[in-house]
Structure 1
Amino acid sequence: MRKLVLAISMLAIAGSAAFADPIKDRQALMKERGKLAGQLSKVVKGEEAFDAAAVLTALQALQANGEKWDTEKFFPAGSDKGDTTAAPKIWEDTAGFNAAEDKFLADVKAAVAAPPADVDALKAQLNTIGGDCGTCHQNYRIKKG
């Protein structure tokens, strides 16, 4: 009986991996990241009031998002084909790609560790984090139309 349960468990795990779609998974992660950055941007632009607790919560969510990053999982060989804007440079310069993601996560962690006390401090942090996003998009993303 144990062997049967173990065999069924192994098949279930293998089956779920077979249905994983790295393109959709990475797009979902990036959409979440963009939404969180957008929330913070609204505060910087004055479209929403500065609320230190809400800002910290958004920064913490951005950190959690960054900690989910796994280049091997989200960008395996062959996932450059299909509905994706991932540039070939990702696979040609994986070390640089990972370094860009590491910098993003380090900057987000720094913002969480020293939460902004006001809009100006948030603006400075968001400029750094947004710069990380922009650098990665310039180098590792194909612009649509």
Structure 2
Amino acid sequence: MRYALAFASAAALLAPLAFTSAAAAQDAAPQVERHEIMEEVGDAMGVLGGMAKGERPYDAAAATEALDVFIVQTPLFLELFPEGSETGHDTRAKPAIWEDPADFHEKGEALVAAAESAKGPAGESLEGLRTALGPVGQSCRACHEAYRAPKN
């Protein structure tokens, strides 16, 4: 009983902190959220590329999970470019995103489609992953070339 009361007291004390963290995450600047998503997507590409290059063992589940990152996160990413978020937080977003949002969204949708098409082959074999990864990489590259500025 004593431990249950101690646990309940601790939970009551920590609850406001959890709410504060969730609220802070919701209030994060779009530039920060964009960066976090791209870090996650980059990590997923690292998993896929590592397998394709033979730098890490092929794992069908890890390959499909990595592709799911592209499928789930890209649509969220595309919505994180409101007016006024063109600068700040060391963003590398080019002005072209706001000048031609339709093309930007089209490139993002092409990435999602490539990742969706890659899931089957990537989940079947290493050779399937290697073959399917090309269009995913090409979609990434097309968007980066058009819409991401080089590092300073």
TM-score, normalized by length of structure 1?
0.80
Question: Is 1:49 equivalent to 2:57 in the alignment?
Answer: yes
**Aligned 1:1-145 pairs, distance under 5 A:** 19-71=27-79, 74-82=80-88, 83-145=90-152
Which structure has more relative contact order (CA 8 Å, sep 6+)? It is 1
TM score, norm. by length of structure 2: 0.76
Q: CA RMSD in A?
A: 2.2
Taking only the aligned residue pairs, the percentage that are identical comes to 34
Gaps of 5+ in 2: 1-22
**How far is 1:116 from its partner?**
4.0
The residue number in structure 2 matching 1:10 is none
Partners of 1:55 and 1:18 lie apart in 2 by 29
Contact 2:92–2:151 (CA<8 Å) still a contact in 1?
A: yes
C-alpha distance in 1, partners of 2:101/2:31? 17
Q: 1:123 Cα deviation (Å)?
A: 1.3
Contact preservation (8 Å) 2:110, 2:139: yes
1:63-106 alpha-carbon deviations (Å, 9 max, x no partner): 222243342xx111111111110000000010000000000011
Give 1:57 shift.
Answer: 2.3
Q: What secondary structure does 1:128 align onto?
A: helix
The structure with more radius of gyration? 2
Q: Distance between the aligned counterparts of 1:97 and 1:91, measured in 2? A: 9
